[in-house]
């Protein structure tokens, strides 16, 4: 995956840092566009996955919209020149300043998650004499079969309006004169690899649509959220997610009304495979049953393993030639942070590893750099890009 020129660049760049392969990102976007365009589907990129300016600019150049979950994300999307009519704004806890900013920029749609939120957006829109376009985020009660921290579409989760609340919400909407209902929004979770979960979502959306039709409410837009998973185990073999099967599934199972548009909010599937966290081995230390490889990157740079026990493939780029099993040793690959959970992998097979070796943590382009923190007063890792080397 990494050429010798790139590896020598890694050796002379201060670690840790994020490396982004711009070509991988562009290939992913081309495939995404080709497959979604087949059905006229509209894709919004979930900024929460990675909000680097350079990455956003590339994504925008493929005529993709923006999915935001905070006022600052909306601001970032506006600054990066995503068209306001291509920006959606979700989130269970939008504050007044964030709503006002989005109203001022006449974004495409607020994905609303509670009755009280509808009331607040209406009140703020009245003050500005604006009509806010809204979609109801409905909790479809569909299991995404993913990690419990990234499951969102079950009634026990905090997200969305529950099905049993719909009557009350629709009644209230009649009184909210500065809101225009333009769509329904769903999102069941993230890193979904069992595509049957999306089929279940489609079937549930069809039932919910029938409810709206029976209530004589016309819905122009159906937003099915994001969540398509990526292959953390074989990033080189499966570099680009199977967008063809994914979009076809929605085409096959969603029952659309005439002129209805379908929207998606993909994050991870777009940016995960283009990013790698590059780190250096600081120390090798003997443990009781294993060796520790102590890196100069930790949970502060890549929090997913500590937070979700997530797997990221770990490669020693300085010593790649030793690959047969009998030449490999087992290492607990850990970071320098004062927390036992600061561990990237236990009993990881690596060739014999030494102080100064370059270690790659793969598939880190989504929910990596954006989730980094300054805990232990750590410096923020910088980003470098393949086309600037
Ligand atoms: N739309 C909504 C409403 C969302 O909540 C999310 C992600 C997305 C779209 C984009 O989902 P994606 O296509 O990226 O799966 N930090 C976690 C992931 C949290 C996802 C939160 N919501 C992780 O590192 O796995």
Q: Which residue has the tokens 């007063």?
A: 377
What is the Å distance from ligand 1's center to 50 Cα?
11
**Residue ranges lining ligand 1, Cβ < 6 Å:** 46, 48-49, 67, 90, 150, 152, 187, 190-191, 225-228, 265-269, 304, 308, 367
The answer on 228 and 123 residing in a single domain is yes
Q: Radius of gyration of the chain from Cα atoms? A: 22
Q: How many domains does the chain have?
A: 2
Please state, in angstroms and rounded to a whole number, the distance separating the CA atoms of residues 302 and 323.
26
The C-alpha atoms of residue 299 and residue 367 are separated, in whole angstroms, by 12
Domain extent for 213: 22-271
Considering only CA atoms, which residue is closest to atom 20 of ligand 1? Answer: 190
Distance 356 CA to ligand 1 centre (A): 35
Q: Which residue's CA is the closest to the ligand 1 atom numbered 7?
A: 190
Q: What is the DSSP letter of 278?
A: E
Phi, psi angle pair for 4, to nearest 5°? -65, -30
Rounded Cα distance between 21 and 240, Å, is 13
pLDDT tens string 99-135: 999 999 999 999 999 999 999 999 999 999 999 999 9
User: pLDDT digits over 243-272, tens only?
Assistant: 999 999 999 999 999 999 999 999 999 999
Residues 10, 40, single domain; the answer is: no
In this prediction, residue 101 carries a pLDDT of 98
261 and 168 in a common domain: yes
In whole angstroms, give the CA distance from residue 190 to residue 268. 8
Are 180 and 287 part of one and the same domain? Answer: no
Q: Are 113 and 90 in contact (CB under 8 A)?
A: yes
**290 and 215 belong to one structural domain:** no
Do both 143 and 244 map to the same domain? yes
CATH number, position 277: 2.40.37.10
Sequence-distant (6+) residues with CB within 8 A of 167 are none
* pLDDT tens digits, 315-373: 999 987 655 555 789 999 999 999 999 999 999 999 999 999 999 999 999 999 999 99
- Check which CATH number belongs to the domain holding 100 and give it: 3.20.20.10
d(CA 88, CA 77): 10
How many whole angstroms from 190 Cα to the centroid of ligand 1? 5
Instruction: Indicate whether 173 and 319 sit together in one domain.
Output: no
Kindly state whether residues 145 and 190 are assigned to the same domain: yes
Predicted local distance difference test score (pLDDT) of residue 141: 86
């Amino acid at each position: 995956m990494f050429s010798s020129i790139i590896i020598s660049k890694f050796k002379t760049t201060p670690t840790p840092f994020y490396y982004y392969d711009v070509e991988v990102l562009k290939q992913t976007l081309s495939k995404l566009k080709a497959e979604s365009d087949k059905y006229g589907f509209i894709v919004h990129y979930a900024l929460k996955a990675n909000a680097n300016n350079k990455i956003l600019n590339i994504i925008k150049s493929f005529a993709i919209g923006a999915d935001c979950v905070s006022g600052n994300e909306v601001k970032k999307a506006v600054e990066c020149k995503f068209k306001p009519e291509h920006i959606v704004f979700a989130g269970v806890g939008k504050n007044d300043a964030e709503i006002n900013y989005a109203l001022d920029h006449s974004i495409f749609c607020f994905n609303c998650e509670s009755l009280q939120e509808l009331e607040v957006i209406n009140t703020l829109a009245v003050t500005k004499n604006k009509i806010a376009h809204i979609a109801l985020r409905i909790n479809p009660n569909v299991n995404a079969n993913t990690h419990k921290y990234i499951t969102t579409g079950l009634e026990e989760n905090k997200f969305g309006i529950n099905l049993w609340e719909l009557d009350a919400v629709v009644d209230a909407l009649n009184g909210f004169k500065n809101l225009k209902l333009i769509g329904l929004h769903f999102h069941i979770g993230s890193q979904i690899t069992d595509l049957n979960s999306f089929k279940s979502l489609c079937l549930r959306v069809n039932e919910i649509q029938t409810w709206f039709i029976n209530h004589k409410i016309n819905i122009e837009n159906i937003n099915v959220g994001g969540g398509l998973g990526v292959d953390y185990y074989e990033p080189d073999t499966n570099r680009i997610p199977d967008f063809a099967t994914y979009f076809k599934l929605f085409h096959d199972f969603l029952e659309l009304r005439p002129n209805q548009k379908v929207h998606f909010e993909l994050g991870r599937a777009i940016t995960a495979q283009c990013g790698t966290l590059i780190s250096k081995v600081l120390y090798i230390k003997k443990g009781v049953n294993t060796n520790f490889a102590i890196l100069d990157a930790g949970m502060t740079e890549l929090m997913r393993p500590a937070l979700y026990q997530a797997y990221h493939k770990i490669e020693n780029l300085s010593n790649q030639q030793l690959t047969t099993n009998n030449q490999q040793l087992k290492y607990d690959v850990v970071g320098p942070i004062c927390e036992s959970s600061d561990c990237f992998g236990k009993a990881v097979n690596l060739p014999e590893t030494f102080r100064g070796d370059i270690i790659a943590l793969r598939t880190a382009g989504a929910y990596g750099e954006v989730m980094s923190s300054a805990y232990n007063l750590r410096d923020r890792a910088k980003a470098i890009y393949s086309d600037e080397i």
